[in-house]
A = this chain, B = another copy of it.
Amino acid sequence: MDELDETDREILDILLSDSRRSYSAIADAVGLSPPAVSDRIERLQEMGVIRRFTVDIDRSVLAQGVPVLVTVTGVSGAGPDIEASLAAAEETEHVFRTVDDTVVATMTVRATSAGETVRDRLDLDAVREYEIRLLDGRDWQPQVGDATFAPECVECGNTVTEEGERERIDGEVYHFCCASCKSAFVDQYERLSEEA
């Protein structure tokens, strides 16, 4: 099992503030050679820590429909399904799900049809209540801090140890505690993909 050391965290902090910084500039900052930085960044991607290099867009200067904050309180156990259906909507940008089946999402909807759009995306039998509010401000300050690498098995939920395995499926890295959890997950995933 890999670990995150202090140098990895420094590299992540630099990439968070400027992901286009050259490897040689990063290398100078952390005291390594450019190939070493390249290797580490590649490893961080393989580990699934870095999901992708992207860009922080200021949506407050863009006009594109109405930005809303949607809060959905699901019936017990319905959280993951609600999260999945909101995440699948093209109007959605962020989705957060809590352990008590509350899901908060930000969406950009056509001006007059906010409620309709949200209802269309949800299975209302699983929803206790929902609220839609106009969004008026947002901030984002990503940071790594002193985080350590500690993935959970997506099949059984256990923390992944030295013997763990991982697999990249459709561009996402999934972690497993053992080979049987991995094959169970992959089989299930393939079955669901074929149905769709």
Contacts and interface: CB of A to CB of B under 8 A. Distances in A.
Chain A interface residue count: which class?
A: 35 or more
Contacts of A53: 18-20, 53-56
Interface stretch (A113-121, A129-137, A187-195): A129-137
How many copies of this chain does the complex contain?
A: 2
A93 B142 contact: yes
A52 B57 CA distance: 7
Contacts of A163: none
B138 A96 contact: yes
Interface in A129-175: 133-152, 173, 175
B104 A140 contact: no
Contacts of A93: 140-143
A173 B138 CA distance: 15
A65 B19 CA distance: 25
10 closest residue pairs by CB, A with B? A63-B150, A64-B147, A97-B137, A98-B133, A61-B151, A62-B147, A19-B53, A87-B139, A51-B56, A95-B139
29 contacts: A4-B62, A15-B54, A16-B54, A16-B57, A18-B52, A18-B53, A19-B19, A50-B55, A50-B56, A50-B57, A51-B55, A60-B151, A61-B149, A62-B149, A63-B148, A63-B149, A64-B146, A64-B147, A79-B137, A90-B143, A93-B140, A93-B142, A95-B138, A96-B138, A97-B137, A97-B138, A98-B134, A98-B136, A102-B133
